[in-house]
Structure 1
Amino acid sequence: MARGELMKKLLASYGRDDEFRAVAEQIIGEEEKKNNRVLARSLRKTLEAGPSRPSGPKALAPLLPFPEAAADFIERIEPQHTHNDIVLGATNVRVLLGLVKEFRRADEIRRHGLKVRSKLLFCGPPGCGKTLCAEIFAAELGLPLFLVKLDRLISSYLGETAGNVRKIFEFARKQPCVLFFDEFDALARSRDDSSEHNELRRVVNSLLLFIDHIQPKGFLIAATNLDQSLDPAVWRRFDEVVWFDKPDRAMIARFLRLKFKNIATAFDPLQHAAALEGYSYAEIERVCTQAVKTMIIDRRKQVQARDFNRALEDEARRRAGQSRLASPS
């Protein structure tokens, strides 16, 4: 590529760390091809010495003070993880990266008369990364993450819940953020469910209207373990549905490699990947953590295979107990 075009790309990518670095690497590569090794080394040294990418989220706009009306129902969550702490399938990585790129080009997309995807539904069994993904997604976007406290939102007083939902959506309309509804099925349960009170059916009606009309300055993310319980009309209100499944053997191996990255072991944890098939990430993490704890308690410097096997046996016992509780008597 001509040098002038590369310089234009470099300037255009300023402020977007990944793109800026990619173009800078391209320029350095061009200089190396031309045998300008001194210049290439100098450029690379300058690039590597530059400020590192911040690990925490950087808000795109000053945080608005909590409106008193919504303060009881929202909690700000400070991200503790990065994209290096999660294992996702290739499809989910592609979808989420596409959403990040779309958000960063939002103004250009809107100038073409197109809508930006901003309402996401995360579905899948518990312990498979939905909440962690929402946290990392917010951090990657540089947006604050707010968790909706459903226990307080759903009022015991008839008629108040829909009003509480309105306050939440009003906050999201003004504040650039990721607004996260966990256990969304508690709020958006099917109106055909005969066990539900008429008041909760009215809440679902209001919720559908709010989701329809809001254009958040960031993202609205709803997560559910019980997608079959959602009202059928909920699905088309979301711009994107992301499915989180239990990990396959390859993803389990990647997760084990991540969990034992800085831990000395006297065995190869990856050999246990097959035994962990059918387990959620949360369950596998519990096994890994318990194995490491055993090493610490016994004052050893390496995790032994027996530590891992015992932790796995404990998790299997726990699962068996949960299965008994879930099965009809």
Structure 2
Amino acid sequence: MKKRDIVDLIRAHYDHDDSQFRLIAQRVAGEFEQQGDQQLASYIMMQTSEVNSFVPQSVTYDTKFLTQIGTDDSPLPLPNVIANDLKGIINAVSHQQLGLGRFLFQGAPGTGKTASVKQLARILDRTLLMVDFNQVIDSKLGQTAKNIAAVFKEINQMPNLSRVVILFDEIDALALDRLDVHDVREMGRATSSILKELDNVNPEALIIATTNLYDQLDVAFKRRFDKVVDFNRYQTEDLVAAGEVMLNANLAAFKSAGHDIKLFRKILTVAPKIPNPGELRNSIKVAIGFSDPQKPYEYLALLYKDLMGVGDLKLTELRDQGFTIREIGILTGMSKSTVARELKGAETE
């Protein structure tokens, strides 16, 4: 067994990459077989074949209303209060006898609700299936309610249900349409249907719903969930820390880009409002993507303009916001002596 095989096995284990783990293990088994250790080779093959029967990736879920989507292992910096709630969900899933399996993630767009579901599915080593609302919602009278019943029938009869996470992403698409004054009765039927189905869902099902409009959800609907996780709990320091993680992750692929975390933090703290992580991630990507490769710090200037909502950099404003001469030089591409001279000239005008 080569050192490389040991390293690859450990990496596959911590990455939760079961298919890669089996491939490496079977390659190791073949090496032992060539060396004449048939017993050990057979044991390894037997163990990996047993694992194969329980790995969710080996099961194909082909249904009308559920779509399999990928999980996520990218950095997901969350405030401790939210991260602790997610750890609680992982613990609750392990205590199956308590029947805790319905969770609602609520919060503004970009706060990490859907990304957290993908991370949970990866950590729990489960296949992630998302309900396709395009298939569920129907303009025909009574059909949406029938489709909701069909969705839950698929869930309740699903093989290996304990190896799956069911995601109702932006469930307010169903729950809020009932407020449409032009179609109250139809969406009332849909709402009654989903409440009934949640009451009778298979206890093995792990269901997570997300919503941006929690306050407008029906009280009875909210009560169907064992735990509501509030993603609107970012403090300024949480958003700055999240931005730093996302910046480092994006800069890793750009060797020519300059790193100045202190200046990056200052840009975020002087902004009128730091965007939620989803929007901030996009702003960082765009700033890096639009920057000149020959100007290693231009992305910081672009990010500043985006967050401040300005088209040009003004030296006096930057100074008044607390940026040093060195930092102003980095943002503007000017030398420190030039910055100092122009600021001095501005004072004498």
Tell me the TM-score normalised to structure 2 length: 0.66
The answer to whether the Cα contact below 8 Å between 2:164 and 2:206 also exists between their aligned partners in 1 is yes
Superposition map of 1:231-270 within 5 A: 231-245=218-232, 247-262=234-249, 263=251, 264-265=257-258, 267=260, 268-270=263-265
The answer to whether the Cα contact below 8 Å between 1:179 and 1:220 also exists between their aligned partners in 2 is yes
Superposition map of 1:85-124 within 5 A: 85-106=75-96, 110=97, 115-124=98-107
- One-letter identity of the residue aligned with 1:89: P
Unaligned runs of 5+ in 1: 1-46, 317-329
Q: Which has the higher helix share?
A: 2
1:286 alignment partner in structure 2? 282
Unaligned runs of 5+ in 2: 1-5, 19-53, 252-256, 312-349
Distance 1:261 1:158 in 2: 51
Say whether 1:308 aligns with 2:303.
Answer: yes
Distance 1:315 1:197 in 2: 45
The answer to whether the Cα contact below 8 Å between 1:265 and 1:302 also exists between their aligned partners in 2 is yes
Distance 1:220 1:181 in 2: 8
What secondary structure does 1:221 align onto? Answer: strand
Say whether 1:157 aligns with 2:149.
Answer: no
Say whether 1:128 aligns with 2:111.
Answer: yes
What secondary structure does 2:175 align onto? Answer: coil
Superposition deviation, residue 226 in structure 1: 0.8
Distance 1:57 1:212 in 2: 35
Say whether 1:77 aligns with 2:69.
Answer: yes
Q: Comparing 119-128 with 167-176, which one deviates more in the overlay?
A: 167-176
Superposition deviation, residue 242 in structure 1: 0.4
Post-superposition CA distance 1:75-99 (Å, at most 9, x none): 11112x32x5112222221121122
Regions of 4+ moved over 6 Å: none
- One-letter identity of the residue aligned with 1:286: N
Q: Comparing 57-66 with 234-243, which one deviates more in the overlay?
A: 57-66
Aligned residues: 257
Distance 1:105 1:158 in 2: 41
2:191 alignment partner in structure 1? 204
Distance 1:231 1:196 in 2: 17
Distance 2:138 2:299 in 1: 50
RMSD: 2.8
Superposition deviation, residue 49 in structure 1: 8.1
What secondary structure does 2:100 align onto? Answer: coil
Distance 2:135 2:177 in 1: 21
Distance 2:310 2:122 in 1: 31
- One-letter identity of the residue aligned with 1:177: V
Post-superposition CA distance 1:119-143 (Å, at most 9, x none): 0111111111111111111111111
Distance 2:182 2:193 in 1: 19
- One-letter identity of the residue aligned with 2:15: S
Distance 1:131 1:259 in 2: 17
The answer to whether the Cα contact below 8 Å between 2:103 and 2:227 also exists between their aligned partners in 1 is yes
2:40 alignment partner in structure 1? none
Say whether 1:223 aligns with 2:210.
Answer: yes
Say whether 1:273 aligns with 2:263.
Answer: no
Distance 1:141 1:269, change over 3 A: same
Tell me the TM-score normalised to structure 1 length: 0.69
- One-letter identity of the residue aligned with 2:258: T
1:327 alignment partner in structure 2? none
Rg (Cα) greater in structure: 2
Distance 1:138 1:57, change over 3 A: farther
Distance 2:214 2:95 in 1: 31
Distance 1:148 1:219, change over 3 A: same
- One-letter identity of the residue aligned with 2:210: A
